[in-house]
């Protein structure tokens, strides 16, 4: 297994490949300003399978070459990073190709006319046709959603009123998977929640929060025990991307 794809090295290699902004409606009266967009919501991306890297130093060794104009070295027989889960695919395992994956974050603006903190960010994720590699049955464990994140806002310092940017951190959530009655499609794994539901007080209205994705969106399998919380043996299963038939 390519050790460069471990959880710790993913975070260390964060390169700000994608970003979205959570911009609250109420202007902030705290501290100096910083450049920000007028809006940055909703944020939506597809989720696709992730494979072992093909590279000379570490990982798999290239044994062929891609066709031009992308004439780069490549590795035959692609290998999923996950050692427990797969997707239905006729020419790979005889099952229909029925998997689709979507991740979205949507800003809920607060109301400055009320004393309550009504701002939040809705998080929605869905991944279908999730199957066990052994026997191709429905997977009924958990996935884990991991967002390598970086926040810039005005909720810093002793008075919680200074503009600053956080160190990169990981925002995580377990994603339950449920078997389907159909034999032609595997399990459905879904998460529908908000940031403040999982970590209360993360999003505060009027703080002009910009939440960057400091690296890919990561979706890990649950490992042999099917649990998101036991992370040591959980491997990457899906990332943001697109599929061209």
Residue-by-residue DSSP string for 136-176: TPBP-SEEEEEEEEEEEEEEETTTT-EEEEPPPEEEEEEEE
Q: Rounded to whole angstroms, how far apart are CA atoms 212 and 194?
A: 17
Tell me: the pLDDT tens digits for 215-240?
Answer: 889 999 999 999 999 999 999 999 99
Q: Does residue 31 have a pLDDT over 90?
A: no
pLDDT in tens, 120-175: 999 999 999 999 999 999 999 999 999 999 999 999 999 999 999 999 999 999 99
Q: Does residue 2 surpass a pLDDT of 70?
A: no
pTM of the model: 0.84
Give the residue ranges of DSSP H helices in 13-162. 90-93
């Amino acid at each position: 297994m390519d050790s460069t794809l471990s959880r710790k090295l993913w975070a260390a290699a964060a390169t700000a490949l994608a970003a979205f902004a959570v911009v609250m409606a109420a202007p902030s009266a705290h501290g100096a300003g910083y450049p920000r967009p007028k809006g940055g919501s909703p944020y939506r991306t597809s989720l696709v399978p992730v494979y072992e890297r093909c590279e000379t130093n570490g990982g798999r060794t290239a044994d062929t070459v891609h066709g031009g104009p992308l004439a780069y070295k490549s590795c035959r027989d692609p290998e999923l990073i996950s050692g427990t889960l797969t997707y239905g695919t006729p020419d790979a395992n005889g099952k229909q190709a029925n998997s689709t994956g979507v991740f979205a974050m949507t800003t809920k603006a607060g109301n400055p006319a009320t004393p309550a903190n009504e701002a939040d960010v809705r998080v929605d994720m869905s991944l279908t046709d999730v199957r066990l590699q052994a026997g191709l049955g429905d997977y009924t464990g958990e996935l884990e959603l991991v967002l390598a994140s970086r926040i810039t806002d005005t909720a810093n310092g002793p008075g919680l009123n200074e503009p600053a940017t956080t160190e990169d951190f990981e925002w995580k959530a377990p994603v339950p998977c449920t078997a389907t009655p159909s034999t032609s499609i595997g399990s459905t794994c879904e998460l529908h929640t908000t940031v403040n539901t999982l970590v209360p007080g993360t999003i505060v209205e009027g703080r002009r929060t910009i939440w960057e994705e400091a690296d890919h969106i990561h979706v890990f399998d649950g490992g042999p025990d099917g649990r998101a919380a036991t992370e040591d043996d959980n491997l990457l299963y899906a990332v943001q991307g697109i599929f061209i038939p």
